[in-house]
Amino acid sequence: MEGRRERKKAALRQHISDVATGLFVARGFDQVSVSEIAEAADVARPTVFAHFPRKEDLLFDQYPETEAEFVGAVLDRADGISAVRAIADRALFLASQESPPFLVRLRQEPFFRLVAESRALQARAREMAEQLEDAVAMAMEATGVRQPRLVAALTAAAYRTAHLQSVRRVLAGHDPVDHVFRVQAALRVVEQAVDNDPAFVG
């Protein structure tokens, strides 16, 4: 069970991120300094960096939980369930809980607009995507998936393609109500390819 100290630390981290996000939305990511964020959050500048090593991570504050969910889906899957199917099932469940990283909606337009308008945020997003793929590949390798690096790359590419299609719709002013279906369909293609190719199962 999470102790009081951990809860206070998590609450402070969330507070700093919320303040930063509000400033970014109001003024733009590149126009806001870490010092301004610290002042607005009523914390010292080093405190900000203690929780977020990079400025970009203030906006992508949910990445650690996202990685943990993907890796956990692979490591904790039941016998007979493929790694790709486990990820698809976890993504579907979290979308049903309206977890922001797994459910894209029109109301998230300010967030996606920030990323679209900042090269620094786009670069960090690509780095995190590569980091996530690597973490999933290691989990697949640890649980006996054949060609884990390739399967992880295919899974990540399918998920990212579906996600970006929904993001583009949001930026165009449309609510991607079919986002979950799009993600599931993309991952199903990977799952079927992996299950039916002797290179993966033989």
Note the pLDDT of residue 1: 54
Q: What is the dihedral of CA 29, 132, 175, 32, to 10 degrees?
A: -10
Res. 4 pLDDT band, cuts 50 70 90: confident
The C-alpha angle with vertex 192 and arms to 186 and 195, in degrees rounded to 5, equals 140
Q: What is the pLDDT of residue 22?
A: 95
Mean pLDDT over residues 136-158, rounded?
Answer: 96
Q: Looking at residues 147-172, what average pLDDT do you find?
A: 96
Q: For residue 62, what are the CA distances in angstroms to 52, 81, 187? A: 11, 27, 22
**Minimal CA–CA distance to 87: which of 127, 137, 126?**
137
Q: pTM for the whole thing? A: 0.90
**Mean pLDDT in residue range 43-57:** 96
| pLDDT score for 201 | 57
| Predicted confidence band of residue 195 (pLDDT cuts 50, 70, 90) | confident
C-alpha 19/C-alpha 16 separation (Å) is 5
Q: Does 3 have pLDDT greater than 90?
A: no
Question: How many angstroms separate the most distant Cα atoms in the chain?
Answer: 59
Q: Which residues are within 8 A (CB) of 182 and not within 5 positions of it... i.e. 6 or more apart?
A: 162, 165, 166, 176
Average pLDDT over residues 127-147: 96
Model confidence band, residue 83 (pLDDT cutoffs 50, 70, 90):
very high
| Cα separation of the two ends of the chain | 43
By residue count, the chain amounts to 202
Residue type, 133: E
Q: What mean pLDDT, rounded, does the chain reach?
A: 93
- Reported as a single tens digit per residue, the pLDDT across 105-136 is 999 999 999 999 999 999 999 999 999 999 99
114, 29 Cβ separation under 8 angstroms: yes
